Structure 1
Amino acid sequence: MTITYRNIILATCCLSFIFAGEGKAQSAKKKAKATQEAPAQKAEPNERERQISEALFLDGMKYFMLEDYQQALQLFQKAYTITPDNAALNYKIGETYLHLQEPSSAMPFAQAAVKLNHKNAYYYLLLAQLHSEQKQYDAAAQAFNALLNNVPNSDEYLFNLADLYLSQSRFDDALRTYDRIEKVFGDMEQLHVNRQQIYLRQKNVDKAIAEGEKLLNLNPSEITYFLSQAELYNATSRPNEAILTLQKALRLEPGNPFAHLMLSDLNRQKGNLAESEKQVKQAFTSPSLDIDTKVRILVDFIRQLPNPQIENVALDLVDLTIAAHPNEAKAYAVAADLQTIVGEKESARNNYLKAVKLDDSHFKIWQQIVLLDAELEQSEAMVKHAEQALELFPNQAVFWFYSGTGHLIEKNFEKAVKALEYGKRLSVGEPELVQQFNLQLGDSYNSLKKYQKSDQAYEEVLALDPNNEHVLNNYSYFLSLRNENLENARQMAERLIKQHPNNPTYLDTYAWVLYKMGNYTEARKYLEQAVAISDDATLVEHYGDVLFKLGKKEEAVSQWQKAKLKGEASAFIDKKIKDRKLYE
């Protein structure tokens, strides 16, 4: 049991009686000196003075009950000037100071109350509380011990003393106090629980296990004690005893999910993976295993991925979670997290979409959706989902980026520029994100033939990242198509192939710049390297163009025919083949 200090507030009428009694008792005594901080003693109050003091006290109690502690204190202090040796009055002044959050001012009055009447439990309780408020824990313990020694039938306060010791981590004192409690009140379940917690904090697992056995003997049908005991056996590397304890628990409560989870963990530790998988699935089928616990377990699986040994069971568990919690957004979200890691991107994206239908407030889930749209190369879906996210998070630049990128891929260049420019303005102060916007703006403005803005965007990227592959490739290629600043285009393309000598796209770009500069022999050399690596239609068609410029018409036509078979050649491919002539 626990006694709180709120219990010590006495009713007004009761206090009146106590007050009167205290006064009569003290009138028979002679005082050698006043209590601490009390004024010098005056002559013993007469009956009339005691009545005045009692009236002031009762008026003070009215204000005290109304929680007007300042007014109550003033009246109590007036009464105190008449009857300073009244224990109840000292107690009440101390309690009032406590309510006013002035424990140091309350202390001498509480001490006086105890000295004047050492048989009242409430006075000791106030004194103990005041010491505790001032972090004088040893003195608080002394106050409790004095209460127990001086007040008859006060054994119930042993619980308070034990709690005090426990709060100070004085574990041995707390244990001794529990022994005292047991002698008075007999064997109690809570005593074993408290002792076990202390032993665990002392890292004395053997004694904690012994207390656990006592709990099981006292409560043979309490499954939580079986689970706790199994955890202790596991902590001391006694898995077989833990398993036996859990099996007993399941006989008491078949299907208990926490018992199955522990059995799964124990069997995994012993290398029994099939049994471990069976037990965790049984736990997940239990309707009493809450969604948050399942999510925590699945997150633990996610941390272990990629791992072929656990992928299948993890995927089965997310299916079981969704089946059991079809209206929980977090069930779909954690399933999608796991599916993303194991490469099931389509399923992951669809589960994220189901999650936001149930709860659309999570920014990171929307971010995962548009990212997966991009990885799945579904630009139309990326635009749709980015714009849905922007309705919820209009100031998140990342969604403007994906919206703009999707529009760029869909060849909606005006919409792409609008979205990308807006997102870029939101990204001020984030240089890396601004770089990404400039990459896409360079491509978008080029497609709109706004070449000055396109070049400016590319130059901004190169100013911070001079070896950016995307810009070096696209910028140099677009300059070559425009026949502008070809030397700069050649330098950028040359820098790129020095870094990536086996990339067919970059080899083609460099060759095409050389082609535009009239250096057909060098262009042929790099295109031959490119087509040896890739049969991309554009590369093959470019190779045919260079051969034509070098006077190798038949070989050129042959390459154009190969390019046409790929289906991705230029709009001039049919005319080139038909007329056996170069068109640009």
Structure 2
Amino acid sequence: MKWVAFCIALGVLSVEHTFAQKKKKKDKDKDKIEESESQARTEEIVGKDDRQTTLMAERQMLEGMKYYALDNYLAALENFLKALKINPKSSGIHYQVAETYLKAGRPNDAIAYAEKAIDLEDNNKYYYLLLGKLYESQGQYEEAAKTYEKMFSKKIAGTDLYAYDLAQIYQFRTKEYPKALKLYETLEKKYGVQEALTKAKQLIYIEQKNNISATLEAEKLAKAFPENFSHQINYAEMLLASGEEAKAESFLLNNLSKDYSFASHLLLYRIYKKQNRKDLANNLLTKTLAEKSLPDEVRNQFLKGNAEGGDVTQINNELEKAVQNAPQDPETWWLYAKNLEQKKDLEKARNAYFKVVSLDGNRFEAWQKLLYLDTELMQASELLIHSEQALELYPTQAIFWLYNGIAYHESKKYPKAIESFEQGLGFAKNNAKLQTQLNIRLADTYHGMSQYEKSDKIFEDILVKEPENVIALNNYSYYLASRKQKMDVATKNAKKLLELQPENGIFIGTYAWILYKQNKLQDSKKMFEKAVTLAPSALILEHYGDVLFKLNEKDKAIEQWQKAQSLKGGSPQLAKKVTDKQLYE
């Protein structure tokens, strides 16, 4: 029984409908034309064996097609199934039911109807293609392959191109590589070298670890499509994988002048780097980076490759040139910023990260780096501005609320700092580490506001959950000693810090501060001497001066205060100590 797919029927109806509009026929005549066309197509689906049965089935099919055209597949199915009940021997109706089940998202229900359609009419390619598709959708790849194989065995006209679909199942689903290769080769003999076919064969050979055959396929593509440099690069990469580095190098050198994508340059550069041929690598790098038409993406791959195991200063020089050549490329600035940070040139790195976010505000990691370096450099005003800008873009990111709170804290705007830290806690419910950081900063702020009970309570709660949290141990100990309260707790915590990290200069300084507050001046001096060697921060230098002053070593004390004053982070009394040459506590 002849079948015409319903999508074709709809297409004919649509054309007739448009044609009728263009001819401006009367509505009544147009309806008759459409009804006649629909009826004709429906007859092809339901058959003409029994006129009365056919007419009844036709009516149900026509009704179903109206719903099908409106994408109301369940309503369409209701009518198609009624039609099928009237005419159960119609292969076309079975096909239509199967296709509609598929459209309705019920492919498993469709399979039986597609199978029946083939049982009733086994020489219709559309039936096989639908059944194969249904099996694939359900992961039944062996059944799908058998369906296509059966279709080909029938020698149905117009099916040879679908051999590619079967080959894809063999290759990627059932892993029957010999069968897949045989089909690809048959198609290649008929249609010549085709990109999809040759690439598929190459992938199989690579999977089989047959580099020689994979390289031959790559060479075939390179010769067939000489203007496509992705194929040239693919061939060179396969030569390298086969151990033919000299041949790959020669091939790439011959292509350099023609390759405006610069992919050949990049691969050749990697070969030189791998072979440790530094002069050739550096010359190629310098020459390529000087090309004005060099795409930003390729430039950055060169720079990333150069950064791996290269000299930091040389890399920095190349990156400086790169940002001059591509001043509007955020990725180039990102690489430059990372290199500066690696060099410990934090201020320049911070400025480079700022350039990144100025060019591309969606670079989340760059915002994090910028705010981190603002904090490290103790640039409270910049930190406030930048954190506010970050929060405009990412208002639910707790990390940015943390930095925003730090900026307010350092500016002595404690109520605003508390607001920011509490906002951050609201967004950090699934991040325990960040919650702890926010709570420590909250405790610091309450201490700054002289709300000591609140501050102490937060620190104690943290240490119950995390008894070895070194930041909480350090800050809590320092604050208690500064107030000369709970000195036993301060001492216990500070000693624990030194057990955990005995060579940490900051923690040694905290213990030295506690000894100072206990008037154990000689012991304190010894600890501070070690602390200033390991971590010569402004606060440690200042407190070391305090100890020296009390030990009547006033000149040395003033010298330490002056050193502290040249840095950032001393106490509010530091400037007065230097000016008056007196100790203030």
Both proteins in one fold, TM over 0.5: yes
Question: Does the CA-based 8 Å contact 1:155-1:184 persist in structure 2?
Answer: no
Does residue 205 (structure 1) correspond to residue 211 (structure 2)? The answer is yes
1:336/1:349 contact within 8 Å kept: yes
Give the direction of change, closer, same or farther, for the CA distance of 1:572–1:282 in structure 2 (3 Å limit): closer
Alpha-carbon distance change, 342 to 105 in structure 1, aligned in 2, over 3 angstroms: same
Find the aligned partners of 2:201 and 2:353 in 1 and give their Cα distance: 47
Tell me by how many angstroms 1:260 deviates.
0.9
Distance 2:40 2:441 in 1: 85
- Greater mean alpha carbon deviation, residues 328-337 or residues 466-475: 466-475
The one-letter code sitting in structure 2 at the alignment partner of 1:276 is A
Q: Does 1:237 align with 2:237?
A: no
Contact 2:263 2:298 in 1 (8 A): no
Conservation of the 8 A alpha-carbon contact between 2:131 and 2:147? yes
Kindly indicate whether the alpha-carbon contact (under 8 Å) linking 1:95 and 1:126 is maintained by their aligned counterparts in 2: no
Asked whether the 8 Å contact 2:198–2:221 carries over to 1, the reply is yes
Q: After alignment, is 423-432 or 344-353 more displaced?
A: 423-432
Letter in 2 for 1:514: Q
Judged with a 3 Å threshold, the aligned counterparts in structure 2 of structure 1 residues 165 and 91 are, in CA distance, closer, same or farther, namely: farther
Higher deviation after alignment, 557-566 or 134-143 = 557-566
Q: Where does residue 352 of structure 1 map in the other structure?
A: 353
**Does residue 141 in structure 1 map to residue 148 in structure 2?**
yes
TM-fit CA distance, 1:140: 1.3
Partner Cα distance (1:475, 1:164) in 2: 65
Partner of 2:509: 505
Name which of 262, 266, 271 aligns with 1:261: 266
Report the equivalent of 1:31. none
Checking the alignment, whether the CA contact within 8 Å between 2:77 and 2:100 is kept in structure 1 is no
| Cα 1:243/1:514, change in 2 over 3 Å | same
- CA displacement at 1:232 relative to structure 2: 0.9
Could you tell me how far apart the structure 2 residues matched to 1:359 and 1:337 are? 16
Amino acid at match of 1:141: Y
Question: Any idea what SS the aligned residue of 1:67 has?
Answer: helix
Shift of 1:200: 2.9
The change in CA–CA distance for 1:62 and 1:202 in structure 2 (over 3 A counts) is farther
1:543 aligns with 2:544: no
3-state secondary structure, aligned to 1:169: coil
CA distance in 2, matches of 1:513, 1:583: 14
- Judge conservation of contact 2:387–2:403 (CA < 8 Å) in 1: yes
Please tell me the residue identity of whatever aligns with 1:235.
A
Structure 1 equivalent of residue 116 of structure 2: 108
Normalization by structure 1: what TM-score? 0.71
SS at match of 2:254: helix
**Displacement after TM superposition at 1:100 (Å):** 2.5
For 1:437 and 1:128, the matched residues in 2 are separated by 58
**Cα distance in structure 2, aligned partners of 1:23 and 1:426:** 66
Contact kept? 1:329, 1:354, Cα under 8 Å: yes
RMSD, aligned CA? 4.6
Name structure 2 gaps, 5 residues minimum: 14-36, 70-75, 103-109, 533-539, 566-573
- Corresponding residue SS for 2:87: helix
Deviation at 1:57, TM superposition (A): 4.9
Aligned length: 522
CA distance in 2, matches of 1:466, 1:18: 79
Where in structure 2 are the equivalents of 1:538-577 lying within 5 Å?
538-547=543-552, 571=576
Q: Are 1:524 and 2:522 an aligned pair?
A: yes
Kept in 2, the 8 Å contact 1:284–1:321? The answer is: yes
**Which whole-Å CA distance do the structure 2 matches of 1:336 and 1:394 have between them?**
25
User: Do the aligned partners of 2:81 and 2:97 also contact (CA within 8 Å) in 1?
Assistant: no
Task: Tell me the amino acid that sits aligned with residue 405 of structure 1.
Answer: I
- Evaluate the alpha carbon distance shift between residue 478 and residue 246 of structure 1 in structure 2; reply closer, same or farther with a 3 A threshold: closer
Distance in 1 (alpha carbons) for counterparts of 2:492 and 2:335: 48
- For the structure 1 residues 64 and 310, does the alpha-carbon distance in structure 2 shift closer, same or farther, using more than 3 Å as the test? farther
**1:91/1:566 CA distance change after superposition, 3 Å:** closer
Deviation string 1:196-220 (CA, Å, 9 cap, x unpaired) is 3433333322122223334444445
- % identity of equivalent residues: 24
Corresponding residue number in structure 2 for 1:39: none
Are residues 147 and 388 of structure 1, via their aligned partners in 2, closer, same or farther at CA, if it must alter by over 3 Å?
A: same
Deviation for aligned residue 1:567? 7.8
**Preserved contact between residue 91 and residue 110 of structure 1 (Cα < 8 Å):** no
Q: Which has the higher relative contact order, 1 or 2, with Cα contacts under 8 A spaced 6 or more apart?
A: 1
Shift of 1:392: 3.6
Contiguous gaps of at least 5 residues in structure 1 = 25-44, 516-521, 548-555
Contact kept? 2:356, 2:363, Cα under 8 Å: no
> Does the CA-based 8 Å contact 2:42-2:58 persist in structure 1?
no
Once residues 477 and 417 of structure 1 are traced to their aligned partners in structure 2, the CA distance between those partners, rounded to angstroms, is 21
**CA 1:109–1:415 in structure 2 vs 1: closer, same or farther (change >3 Å)?**
closer
- Equivalent position amino acid for 1:355 in 2: V
Q: How does 1:122-271 map to 2 (within 5 A)?
A: 122=126, 125=129, 135=140, 136-148=143-155, 151=156, 155-156=160-161, 158-159=163-164, 161-163=166-168, 165-166=170-171, 168-181=174-187, 184=190, 191-251=197-257, 253-271=258-276
Offset of residue 349 of structure 1:
1.6
Deviations 1:451-489 (CA, angstroms, capped at 9, x unpaired): 434444444454455566666666556555555455555
**Residue range with higher mean Cα deviation, 559-568 or 203-212:** 559-568
- Partners of 1:21 and 1:469 in 2: how far apart? 79
Contact 2:148 2:166 (8 Å CA) reproduced: yes
* Alpha carbons of structure 1 residues 9 and 71: separation in structure 2 relative to 1, 3 Å: farther
Instruction: Output the amino acid matched with 1:527.
Output: K
Q: Structure 1: how far apart are the matches of 2:56 and 2:522?
A: 115
Deviations 1:90-126 (CA, angstroms, capped at 9, x unpaired): 2453244333331212312322212xxx5x6556555
Question: More deviation in 562-571 or 209-218?
Answer: 562-571
Report Cα offsets for 1:169-199 as digits up to 9, x if no partner.
3332233334444555566666544433433
Relative to 1, partners in 2 of residues 1:325 and 1:70: Cα closer, same or farther, differing over 3 Å?
Answer: farther
Matched with 1:33 is none
CA deviation string 1:500-520 (max 9, x = no partner): 5995734642442232xxxxx
Assess, with a 3 A threshold, how the Cα gap between structure 1 residues 583 and 402 changes in structure 2: closer, same or farther.
closer
* C-alpha displacement of 1:58: 9.0
Does the 8 A contact of 1:380 with 1:406 survive in 2?
yes
Q: Could you tell me how far apart the structure 2 residues matched to 1:313 and 1:423 are?
A: 41
- Residue 292 of structure 1, CA deviation: 5.1
Q: Hey, what does 2:382 align to over in structure 1?
A: 381
- How far 1:368 sits from its partner (Å)? 1.5
Task: Give, in whole Å, the separation in 2 of the partners of 1:383 and 1:326.
Answer: 26
Structure-2 separation of matches of 1:354 and 1:21: 66
Question: Radius of gyration: which is bigger?
Answer: 1
Compared CA separation, residues 413 and 232, structure 1 to 2 (3 A): same
Q: 1:144 to 1:274 in 2, by over 3 A?
A: farther
Give the letter aligned to residue 113 of structure 2: S
